[in-house]
Amino acid sequence: MAQPLILLANTAMPIVENGLAQHFKLRKAYETPEMDTSALAAEVQGVTLFQVPIDAAFLDKFPNLKIVANFSVGYDCVDTEACAARNIMVTNTPDVLTEEVADTAIGLMISAVRQFGGAERWVQSGQWASKGPYPLSPGTLRGRTLGVYGLGSIGKAIAKRAEAFGMSICYHGRSRQMGVDYAYCETLVELAECCDTVMVATPGTPENQNAISDDVLKALGANGVLVNIGRGSVVDEPALIRALDGGIILGAGLDVFANEPHVPPALLNCGNVVVLPHIGSASIYTRDAMGQLVVDNLVSWFETGKAVTPVPETAHLQGK
Protein backbone atom coordinates (compact mmCIF):
# COMPACT_ATOMS: atom_id res chain seq x y z
CA MET A 1 0.00 0.00 0.00
CA ALA A 2 1.31 3.49 -0.87
CA GLN A 3 2.47 5.51 2.11
CA PRO A 4 0.08 8.34 3.02
CA LEU A 5 1.40 11.86 2.45
CA ILE A 6 1.73 13.99 5.58
CA LEU A 7 2.10 17.76 5.41
CA LEU A 8 4.19 19.49 8.07
CA ALA A 9 2.45 22.86 8.39
CA ASN A 10 5.46 24.33 10.15
CA THR A 11 8.91 23.30 11.30
CA ALA A 12 8.73 20.10 13.31
CA MET A 13 11.20 18.77 15.88
CA PRO A 14 13.60 16.06 14.64
CA ILE A 15 11.74 13.45 16.71
CA VAL A 16 8.57 14.23 14.72
CA GLU A 17 10.19 14.47 11.31
CA ASN A 18 12.37 11.38 11.73
CA GLY A 19 9.59 9.37 13.37
CA LEU A 20 7.10 10.18 10.62
CA ALA A 21 9.62 9.57 7.84
CA GLN A 22 9.71 5.88 8.83
CA HIS A 23 6.00 5.48 8.02
CA PHE A 24 4.92 8.25 5.67
CA LYS A 25 5.86 10.43 2.73
CA LEU A 26 6.48 13.96 4.05
CA ARG A 27 6.15 17.43 2.56
CA LYS A 28 7.04 20.64 4.35
CA ALA A 29 4.52 23.42 3.71
CA TYR A 30 7.17 26.06 4.42
CA GLU A 31 9.43 24.61 1.69
CA THR A 32 6.60 24.08 -0.78
CA PRO A 33 4.56 27.32 -0.82
CA GLU A 34 2.56 26.22 -3.87
CA MET A 35 1.65 22.97 -2.10
CA ASP A 36 -2.02 23.73 -1.49
CA THR A 37 -2.72 24.53 -5.14
CA SER A 38 -0.67 21.72 -6.70
CA ALA A 39 -1.88 18.26 -7.69
CA LEU A 40 -0.07 17.05 -4.57
CA ALA A 41 -2.74 18.68 -2.39
CA ALA A 42 -5.14 15.86 -3.22
CA GLU A 43 -2.60 13.34 -1.87
CA VAL A 44 -2.29 14.93 1.57
CA GLN A 45 -3.93 12.70 4.19
CA GLY A 46 -2.45 14.13 7.39
CA VAL A 47 -1.23 17.48 8.73
CA THR A 48 0.97 18.22 11.73
CA LEU A 49 1.04 21.70 13.20
CA PHE A 50 2.21 23.85 16.07
CA GLN A 51 0.04 26.92 16.67
CA VAL A 52 -0.96 27.33 13.01
CA PRO A 53 -4.58 28.29 12.24
CA ILE A 54 -6.40 25.37 10.62
CA ASP A 55 -9.76 26.69 9.43
CA ALA A 56 -12.39 25.58 6.91
CA ALA A 57 -10.60 27.39 4.05
CA PHE A 58 -7.40 25.42 4.84
CA LEU A 59 -9.31 22.12 4.99
CA ASP A 60 -10.98 22.83 1.63
CA LYS A 61 -7.57 22.80 -0.06
CA PHE A 62 -6.93 19.20 0.99
CA PRO A 63 -9.94 17.11 -0.08
CA ASN A 64 -8.51 13.79 1.17
CA LEU A 65 -7.30 14.99 4.56
CA LYS A 66 -8.05 12.46 7.31
CA ILE A 67 -6.21 13.68 10.40
CA VAL A 68 -4.91 16.93 11.90
CA ALA A 69 -2.25 16.16 14.52
CA ASN A 70 -1.68 19.11 16.83
CA PHE A 71 1.67 19.46 18.64
CA SER A 72 0.12 20.97 21.78
CA VAL A 73 -2.61 20.19 24.30
CA GLY A 74 -4.42 23.47 23.52
CA TYR A 75 -6.03 23.29 20.08
CA ASP A 76 -7.84 26.62 19.90
CA CYS A 77 -6.08 27.25 16.55
CA VAL A 78 -7.93 24.30 14.96
CA ASP A 79 -11.56 24.64 13.81
CA THR A 80 -12.66 21.30 15.27
CA GLU A 81 -16.26 21.81 14.14
CA ALA A 82 -15.14 22.12 10.51
CA CYS A 83 -12.90 19.06 10.95
CA ALA A 84 -15.68 16.96 12.51
CA ALA A 85 -18.07 17.97 9.72
CA ARG A 86 -15.55 16.56 7.21
CA ASN A 87 -14.83 13.40 9.28
CA ILE A 88 -11.28 14.63 9.93
CA MET A 89 -9.75 13.38 13.18
CA VAL A 90 -8.03 15.99 15.39
CA THR A 91 -5.45 14.95 17.98
CA ASN A 92 -3.55 16.86 20.66
CA THR A 93 -0.81 16.06 23.19
CA PRO A 94 -2.36 15.94 26.68
CA ASP A 95 -0.79 14.59 29.90
CA VAL A 96 2.83 14.27 28.70
CA LEU A 97 3.29 18.01 29.34
CA THR A 98 1.20 18.38 32.50
CA GLU A 99 4.01 18.28 35.09
CA GLU A 100 6.31 20.57 33.07
CA VAL A 101 3.60 23.18 32.62
CA ALA A 102 2.67 22.98 36.32
CA ASP A 103 6.35 23.53 37.24
CA THR A 104 6.45 26.58 34.98
CA ALA A 105 3.22 27.91 36.49
CA ILE A 106 4.58 27.63 40.02
CA GLY A 107 7.85 29.32 39.01
CA LEU A 108 5.87 32.10 37.38
CA MET A 109 3.62 32.50 40.42
CA ILE A 110 6.55 32.83 42.82
CA SER A 111 8.34 35.20 40.43
CA ALA A 112 5.25 37.38 40.19
CA VAL A 113 4.50 37.43 43.93
CA ARG A 114 8.14 38.10 44.91
CA GLN A 115 8.91 40.28 41.84
CA PHE A 116 11.89 38.24 40.62
CA GLY A 117 11.67 39.90 37.17
CA GLY A 118 12.38 43.36 38.55
CA ALA A 119 14.96 41.94 40.95
CA GLU A 120 16.82 40.24 38.10
CA ARG A 121 16.81 43.46 36.05
CA TRP A 122 18.20 45.23 39.16
CA VAL A 123 21.26 42.96 39.10
CA GLN A 124 21.64 42.90 35.31
CA SER A 125 21.55 46.70 35.07
CA GLY A 126 24.19 47.16 37.77
CA GLN A 127 21.80 48.83 40.22
CA TRP A 128 22.62 46.39 43.02
CA ALA A 129 26.18 47.74 43.00
CA SER A 130 25.23 51.38 42.36
CA LYS A 131 22.06 51.75 44.46
CA GLY A 132 22.13 48.91 47.00
CA PRO A 133 19.61 46.20 47.84
CA TYR A 134 16.47 45.67 45.76
CA PRO A 135 13.33 46.99 47.51
CA LEU A 136 11.44 44.49 49.69
CA SER A 137 8.64 42.73 47.82
CA PRO A 138 5.17 43.77 48.94
CA GLY A 139 3.93 40.26 48.16
CA THR A 140 4.63 36.97 49.90
CA LEU A 141 3.39 33.41 49.43
CA ARG A 142 2.78 33.19 53.17
CA GLY A 143 -0.92 32.99 53.88
CA ARG A 144 -1.89 33.12 50.19
CA THR A 145 -4.91 31.37 48.69
CA LEU A 146 -4.70 30.06 45.15
CA GLY A 147 -7.83 30.26 42.99
CA VAL A 148 -7.46 27.92 40.02
CA TYR A 149 -9.57 28.76 37.00
CA GLY A 150 -9.67 25.46 35.06
CA LEU A 151 -9.01 22.59 37.44
CA GLY A 152 -8.09 20.12 34.70
CA SER A 153 -4.91 18.05 34.41
CA ILE A 154 -2.61 21.06 34.60
CA GLY A 155 -4.76 22.93 37.14
CA LYS A 156 -4.71 19.91 39.47
CA ALA A 157 -0.94 19.49 39.14
CA ILE A 158 -0.51 23.18 40.00
CA ALA A 159 -2.87 22.90 42.99
CA LYS A 160 -0.96 19.87 44.31
CA ARG A 161 2.30 21.83 44.18
CA ALA A 162 0.70 24.90 45.77
CA GLU A 163 -0.57 22.77 48.67
CA ALA A 164 3.05 21.84 49.39
CA PHE A 165 3.77 25.57 49.76
CA GLY A 166 1.05 25.78 52.41
CA MET A 167 -1.41 27.60 50.18
CA SER A 168 -5.18 27.15 50.48
CA ILE A 169 -6.90 26.21 47.22
CA CYS A 170 -10.24 27.04 45.63
CA TYR A 171 -11.33 26.65 42.01
CA HIS A 172 -13.79 27.62 39.33
CA GLY A 173 -14.78 25.79 36.16
CA ARG A 174 -17.98 25.20 34.25
CA SER A 175 -19.07 22.74 36.92
CA ARG A 176 -18.22 21.47 40.39
CA GLN A 177 -16.04 18.32 40.27
CA MET A 178 -16.97 15.16 42.14
CA GLY A 179 -14.25 13.86 44.46
CA VAL A 180 -12.43 17.21 44.69
CA ASP A 181 -12.09 18.66 48.19
CA TYR A 182 -11.05 22.19 47.18
CA ALA A 183 -13.75 24.85 47.65
CA TYR A 184 -15.79 25.40 44.47
CA CYS A 185 -16.71 28.93 43.43
CA GLU A 186 -19.78 29.36 41.21
CA THR A 187 -18.42 32.37 39.28
CA LEU A 188 -15.06 33.89 38.42
CA VAL A 189 -15.84 36.97 40.51
CA GLU A 190 -16.58 34.69 43.47
CA LEU A 191 -13.27 32.88 42.85
CA ALA A 192 -11.40 36.19 42.81
CA GLU A 193 -13.12 37.25 46.05
CA CYS A 194 -12.17 33.94 47.72
CA CYS A 195 -8.47 34.10 46.87
CA ASP A 196 -5.60 36.52 46.31
CA THR A 197 -3.85 34.62 43.50
CA VAL A 198 -5.80 33.62 40.39
CA MET A 199 -4.19 30.95 38.21
CA VAL A 200 -5.67 30.66 34.70
CA ALA A 201 -5.24 27.07 33.43
CA THR A 202 -8.15 26.78 30.99
CA PRO A 203 -8.16 26.43 27.23
CA GLY A 204 -8.90 29.56 25.22
CA THR A 205 -12.40 29.21 23.81
CA PRO A 206 -14.95 31.65 22.36
CA GLU A 207 -16.98 31.25 25.60
CA ASN A 208 -14.23 32.37 27.97
CA GLN A 209 -12.64 35.11 25.84
CA ASN A 210 -11.75 38.08 28.12
CA ALA A 211 -13.22 36.17 31.11
CA ILE A 212 -10.64 37.80 33.40
CA SER A 213 -12.37 41.17 33.21
CA ASP A 214 -12.35 44.49 35.07
CA ASP A 215 -14.86 43.02 37.54
CA VAL A 216 -12.77 39.91 38.24
CA LEU A 217 -9.60 41.97 38.74
CA LYS A 218 -11.42 44.38 41.03
CA ALA A 219 -12.65 41.40 43.09
CA LEU A 220 -9.08 40.04 43.27
CA GLY A 221 -8.04 43.21 45.06
CA ALA A 222 -4.94 45.20 45.94
CA ASN A 223 -2.94 42.20 47.22
CA GLY A 224 -4.01 40.13 44.21
CA VAL A 225 -1.75 38.45 41.67
CA LEU A 226 -2.92 37.07 38.32
CA VAL A 227 -0.98 34.21 36.72
CA ASN A 228 -1.87 33.05 33.21
CA ILE A 229 -0.48 29.72 32.02
CA GLY A 230 -3.60 28.88 29.95
CA ARG A 231 -4.30 31.08 26.95
CA GLY A 232 -3.90 34.82 26.38
CA SER A 233 -7.42 35.24 25.01
CA VAL A 234 -8.89 34.40 28.44
CA VAL A 235 -7.55 37.66 29.91
CA ASP A 236 -8.87 41.09 28.91
CA GLU A 237 -5.39 42.62 28.47
CA PRO A 238 -6.47 46.29 28.48
CA ALA A 239 -8.37 45.60 31.73
CA LEU A 240 -5.27 43.91 33.18
CA ILE A 241 -3.08 46.88 32.23
CA ARG A 242 -5.58 49.26 33.90
CA ALA A 243 -5.64 47.10 37.03
CA LEU A 244 -1.83 46.97 37.24
CA ASP A 245 -1.40 50.69 36.56
CA GLY A 246 -4.11 51.70 39.01
CA GLY A 247 -3.00 49.47 41.89
CA ILE A 248 -6.27 47.52 41.61
CA ILE A 249 -4.10 44.35 41.81
CA LEU A 250 -0.54 43.82 43.00
CA GLY A 251 1.02 42.04 40.04
CA ALA A 252 0.88 39.49 37.24
CA GLY A 253 2.84 36.55 35.85
CA LEU A 254 2.10 35.86 32.19
CA ASP A 255 3.29 33.02 29.95
CA VAL A 256 0.64 33.57 27.29
CA PHE A 257 -0.73 36.65 25.52
CA ALA A 258 -3.67 37.57 23.32
CA ASN A 259 -1.61 38.32 20.19
CA GLU A 260 1.61 36.27 20.47
CA PRO A 261 4.44 36.94 19.93
CA HIS A 262 3.41 40.57 20.39
CA VAL A 263 3.20 41.70 24.01
CA PRO A 264 1.56 45.04 24.87
CA PRO A 265 4.41 47.49 25.70
CA ALA A 266 2.56 48.43 28.91
CA LEU A 267 3.29 44.93 30.24
CA LEU A 268 7.03 45.15 29.58
CA ASN A 269 9.70 46.32 32.02
CA CYS A 270 7.19 46.71 34.88
CA GLY A 271 8.38 45.92 38.38
CA ASN A 272 5.13 44.11 39.13
CA VAL A 273 4.81 42.01 35.94
CA VAL A 274 6.79 38.90 34.98
CA VAL A 275 6.53 37.88 31.33
CA LEU A 276 7.60 34.62 29.68
CA PRO A 277 7.50 33.78 25.95
CA HIS A 278 4.94 30.91 26.11
CA ILE A 279 7.43 28.38 27.48
CA GLY A 280 5.09 26.36 29.71
CA SER A 281 6.06 23.01 28.16
CA ALA A 282 9.24 24.15 26.45
CA SER A 283 11.94 21.78 27.70
CA ILE A 284 13.63 19.36 25.30
CA TYR A 285 12.46 16.45 27.50
CA THR A 286 8.78 17.40 27.37
CA ARG A 287 8.72 18.64 23.79
CA ASP A 288 10.26 15.29 22.73
CA ALA A 289 7.46 13.45 24.57
CA MET A 290 4.89 15.66 22.81
CA GLY A 291 6.58 15.02 19.46
CA GLN A 292 6.52 11.26 19.99
CA LEU A 293 2.80 11.48 20.75
CA VAL A 294 2.21 13.33 17.47
CA VAL A 295 3.97 10.48 15.64
CA ASP A 296 2.08 7.81 17.62
CA ASN A 297 -1.26 9.44 16.81
CA LEU A 298 -0.58 9.48 13.07
CA VAL A 299 0.82 5.95 12.96
CA SER A 300 -2.05 4.56 15.04
CA TRP A 301 -4.68 6.37 12.97
CA PHE A 302 -3.45 4.99 9.67
CA GLU A 303 -2.62 1.50 11.00
CA THR A 304 -5.61 0.84 13.26
CA GLY A 305 -8.19 3.55 12.53
CA LYS A 306 -7.92 4.81 16.12
CA ALA A 307 -6.09 7.86 17.44
CA VAL A 308 -4.16 7.67 20.72
CA THR A 309 -5.29 11.07 22.02
CA PRO A 310 -8.24 12.39 20.00
CA VAL A 311 -9.77 15.69 21.10
CA PRO A 312 -13.31 15.26 22.49
CA GLU A 313 -14.94 16.93 19.46
CA THR A 314 -13.70 14.19 17.08
CA ALA A 315 -13.28 11.25 19.49
CA HIS A 316 -16.26 9.49 17.87
CA LEU A 317 -14.56 9.21 14.47
CA GLN A 318 -13.11 5.93 13.21
CA GLY A 319 -10.41 5.77 10.56
CA LYS A 320 -11.05 2.31 9.17
> Which residues are near ligand NAP by CB under 6 A?
73-74, 94, 97-98, 101, 150-155, 173-175, 201-205, 207-208, 229-231, 255-256, 278, 280-281
Q: How far is the CB of 151 from ligand NAP (least distance, A)?
A: 5
Contact of 276 with 104, CB cutoff 8 Å? yes
Toward ligand NAP, which CB reaches closer, 109 or 201? 201
Cα 114 to Cα 18, 136, 264, 273: the distances in Å are 43, 9, 22, 10
Toward ligand NAP, which CB reaches closer, 45 or 286? 286
Q: How far is the CB of 175 from ligand NAP (least distance, A)?
A: 5
- Pick the catalytic residue: 260, 303, 313, 316? 260
Nearest Cα neighbor of 151 from 111, 113, 191, 190 is 191
Toward ligand NAP, which CB reaches closer, 80 or 281? 281
Cα 69 to Cα 48, 117, 147: the distances in Å are 5, 36, 32
Q: How far is the CB of 239 from ligand NAP (least distance, A)?
A: 18
Cα torsion through 67, 70, 71, 75, rounded to 10: -170
Dihedral sign for Cα atoms in the order 317, 308, 313, 11:
negative
Question: By three-state DSSP, how is residue 310 classified?
Answer: strand
Toward ligand NAP, which CB reaches closer, 7 or 236? 236
Nearest Cα neighbor of 47 from 68, 64, 61 is 68
Determine whether 23 is an active site residue: no
Q: How far is the CB of 127 from ligand NAP (least distance, A)?
A: 30
Determine whether 260 is an active site residue: yes
Toward ligand NAP, which CB reaches closer, 203 or 221? 203
Q: Can you list the alpha helix ranges (DSSP code H) found in 61-152?
A: 80-85, 98-114, 116-124, 127-131
Cβ neighbours around 214 below 10 Å, total? 15
Determine whether 287 is an active site residue: no
Q: How far is the CB of 89 from ligand NAP (least distance, A)?
A: 18
Q: How far is the CB of 79 from ligand NAP (least distance, A)?
A: 15
Toward ligand NAP, which CB reaches closer, 81 or 303? 81
Cβ neighbours around 104 below 10 Å, total? 24
The Cα–Cα gap between 218 and 198 comes to 12
Strand-pairing partners, residue 173, are none
The residues that are catalytic are 231, 260, 278
